[in-house]
Amino acid sequence: MAHLRLRTWFLSAGLGVLTLSVVGCLYDPDDPCGEGLEEYGDNVRCVCPEGSVYTEDGCITCGEHEVASASGCVCEEGYTRPPAGGACEEAPPSGGLGSECDPAAPACIEPYDHCEPASDSGYCTSGCETNDDCEGGYACNADSICQRPPLGMGMSCSSPEDCAGTEATYCDLFVSMTCLVQGCQVDPNDCFGGFECCDLTAVGVPQPICIPAGACMP
């Protein structure tokens, strides 16, 4: 039952995977996924083409200097999106958004003058009140800091080794075939903005994992 519920949240997560649906005479054996989708793996899933993400309006192709992620199309490494939106632009030099920094001796440039500790060292970012104050796929966390998406989250995987060395070390081989953040805290929730910590250890998931908010029904 929990695995079926996982399939429900996976569809809402925008990670680009749809369960293959066959509807009577509309089914075309030569094109089972229909327009705009591709078969994946064992041919029981349909996915958006590489470089695009799934939305309620169908697959959306990411723009120049953008990559598909769990939170939609985000700027690739070395690029950032202006606060007012628009196309991704080359990130400013050292000290800009996402630049590596030392929390004990930050050298971040305004408006990204906050050095947020991370698993390795830290990264330059800014304060916020809502997600609208953040850019580049970042989200406003409980500490009112624009938090960087966990490295590796939403990356395709076929084994735990594919997720090793990232911040999303759990390879979901049951539903999404992507790397997810594990070892999170349920209360208070410490997952990335828009996600919640779900304890599925009863169905074999070794540690609680971060899934889209509102989708956890263990």
pLDDT of residue 193: 86
Query: Quick check: 130 and 113 in contact, CB under 8 A?
Result: no
Query: For residues 127 and 141, what is the distance between their CA atoms, to the nearest angstrom?
Result: 9
Query: For residues 159 and 118, what is the distance between their CA atoms, to the nearest angstrom?
Result: 25
Residue numbers in the chain where pLDDT is lower than 70: 1-31, 34-36, 41-44, 82-85, 91-93, 120, 218
pLDDT of residue 145: 94
Cut 0.85: pTM above it: no
pLDDT of residue 27: 55
Query: For residues 115 and 103, what is the distance between their CA atoms, to the nearest angstrom?
Result: 5
Query: Quick check: 210 and 191 in contact, CB under 8 A?
Result: yes
pLDDT of residue 2: 42
In DSSP notation, 116-176 reads: EE-SSSEEEE-B-SSGGG--TT-EE-TTSBEEPPPTTTT-B-SSGGGGTTSS--EE-TTTT
Query: For residues 14 and 212, what is the distance between their CA atoms, to the nearest angstrom?
Result: 9
> Tokens 């997600």 — which residue?
131
pLDDT of residue 218: 62
